[in-house]
Chain A
């Protein structure tokens, strides 16, 4: 890989924005009812365990992206198809994310704007940023991580001031025991959004410090999990479990409850901004992962595949499903059947291979 290095702080912010992505605004983990905030935290722990595997692979191959050490560990003939599958996965994830984002946007404010236009605009912006390089993306994330935090802080303070928060709505904790929480984790939360960290295996070679890098990313995951959990708790304590469960974007009605003497009202547009920022960075990271994969696998300039790849993402996202419901249903299927293969099975195999190889090739002490 190249000599491009990205600072730890920037990687932290990129991780946080990536994790928050769409997850911040959707009703994450609502399978466990009003304990969704708990299931996010548990999911985060599961995600961290999965990430340990990625980090292990990274430590073993600090200069290679995932697609490169796949080939090294599995051999050329198995490794290359697997690497190509991963590139397709990243393109698919980027496309799905784009679809998520543009549909949510259409639901929230832009009722009449064609989905295609919304997606195109978002994708073009992403392509522009990636055209400037991965480093620019990560630096930009610093600024917008700050923006998202500020919006969050503003929203929380305003909700407290307008007296909409009722913590009673979070009670009782664990009404039905731990089981629903664990079920929700097993169904969704370990994978979304934390399992999606698999695409960071493509970007981790850019980390400026092999030693601290994975820790920083793990801290980013934890931090974003706390934020997500907090947001979910906020949603439930403002709207109540039932409304949150039925809203695809619960953060919007939550924030729209802000009303300070009829002057500050309906600030849900800030949620839309958070949504746009999150979707943008998530999509851009997937996009970047796919591009890095392509350029590494085919020894092609990074930028040459930028626009073709953008077109593929755009059309994948448009042709993905006819309706949002279909899209979500499809997503659920992928989440059960396909993603675990990529996010758990293959990395696990690789970890074992790497460990075995390290065991045999390492000089025996004494």
Chain B
């Protein structure tokens, strides 16, 4: 009886499965790719090719893993660059794939660098494949190569990471946390930016400083001062998908402040006696509002809340007095307002609302927005901006007054 039962149970379902199993095993593993059949791409540079048939010139920085952490490293370069061209991005990728021994795997692309030339021509065509392809990640960072071919940025040896792209990413993280005005700009941010009515994205700029000779070999690192350094600087301002120009200095900082992306940055002000004071603003909160009585003439209210600490005060100011600090914080807000005004001025110059004023209006006053949507550019160029700024100097760090006060 037991045997019969056994037979009966075997016969129905497991038998079916068992019959299928060898079938499945034999036909193979379709999506199965062994790790050592993959070429991991860490970064992609996108250049404009000379002709229509070679419209896109994609340079893939491929990690040579064995050189980075393997035991039998051959002492060759830790990354290799493959370049492919094509009418579309995908064709260029296919072209590059043909040169590599392994599958170009885009799952770990951390950086995309677009050349300035291509950016000025328009980037919307390259974005489609980036969001459509399931292998690429939306969290890849986008850069614009400032005034040079993008592939040069993929072929520069760096000091702090064997993979140049990682060096770039780390630099960005550092500057966005401290003393800089660049911030993480990911693929989907750019896509959203391109669709901003009357505006566009802003993208970090990157360039190499120094001589290009030998930048792609270890020679670059042999001296104490590397010949060629990857540097992140400036913001590329876009109108729709076309790059309009570069933001630097106050305008860049103000833009980032308006986007609320900056965590910590230094401010230097000049006091009445002509000396300089340095602050570290370690918290900055900017909120935008729109006061709309007449949609044709909206008023954008920029509310700024900042916290700062005095980092340097090489003069005889009495920092123990609240009044003095009050005065300083007013100067501080003045400085911030100056920066934001510079940002708005350059945005108006580029005729691009990458600052998101239109969005603010849309959020707070959707009906009014619909009326002005079509000619927002004109309104943006003329709309009034009001400031409501408040800065607090929380502390003066480890000393109160400078020793110079006792002179």
- What's the nearest-Cβ distance from chain B to residue A207, in Å? 28
**A242-B195 contact given A108-B134, A266-B107, CB 8 Å threshold:** yes
Residues of A contacting B107 with CB < 8 Å?
266
Q: Does B188 contact A (CB under 8 A)?
A: yes
Residues of B contacting A110 with CB < 8 Å?
30-31
Contact A240 B359 (CB under 8 A): no
Residues of A contacting B12 with CB < 8 Å?
131
Which of A108, A120, A266 touches B20 (beta carbons < 8 Å)? A120
**A253-B13 contact given A111-B31, A242-B192, CB 8 Å threshold:** no
Q: Does A256 contact B (CB under 8 A)?
A: yes
How far apart sit A243 and B193, CA to CA, in the bound complex (Å)? Answer: 12
Digitize A106-133: 1 where CB-to-B-CB distance is under 8 Å, 0 elsewhere.
0111111110010010001001100100
Q: Does B398 contact A (CB under 8 A)?
A: no
Q: Does B24 contact A (CB under 8 A)?
A: yes
**A239-B188 contact given A253-B138, A256-B139, CB 8 Å threshold:** yes
How far apart sit A112 and B138, CA to CA, in the bound complex (Å)? Answer: 22
Q: Does A257 contact B (CB under 8 A)?
A: yes
Residues of A contacting B134 with CB < 8 Å?
107-109, 111, 252
Q: Does A209 contact B (CB under 8 A)?
A: no
How far apart sit A107 and B188, CA to CA, in the bound complex (Å)? Answer: 19
Q: Does A359 contact B (CB under 8 A)?
A: no
B interface secondary structure, majority: helix
Which of A128, A243, A259, A265 touches B131 (beta carbons < 8 Å)? A243
Contact A266 B191 (CB under 8 A): no
What bracket does the count of chain A residues touching chain B fall in? 20 to 34
- What's the nearest-Cβ distance from chain A to residue B126, in Å? 16
Digitize B1-23: 1 where CB-to-A-CB distance is under 8 Å, 0 elsewhere.
00000000000110011001000
- What's the nearest-Cβ distance from chain B to residue A258, in Å? 8
Q: Does A329 contact B (CB under 8 A)?
A: no
How far apart sit A242 and B195, CA to CA, in the bound complex (Å)? Answer: 9
B:171-193 near A, CB below 8 Å: 186, 188, 191-192
How far apart sit A242 and B359, CA to CA, in the bound complex (Å)? Answer: 14
Q: Does A168 contact B (CB under 8 A)?
A: yes
Digitize A240-272: 1 where CB-to-B-CB distance is under 8 Å, 0 elsewhere.
101100000000110011010000011000000
Write 16 A-B pairs (CB below 8 A) sorted by A numbering.
Answer: A107-B134, A109-B31, A109-B134, A112-B30, A114-B30, A117-B24, A131-B13, A242-B195, A243-B131, A243-B188, A243-B191, A243-B192, A253-B131, A253-B138, A265-B139, A266-B107
- Interface of B with A (CB < 8 Å)? 12-13, 16-17, 20, 24, 27, 30-31, 107, 131, 134, 137-139, 186, 188, 191-192, 195, 359, 362-364, 366
Additional A-B contact list (6), CB under 8 Å, known A168-B359, A168-B363: A109-B134, A110-B30, A124-B20, A172-B363, A256-B137, A256-B138
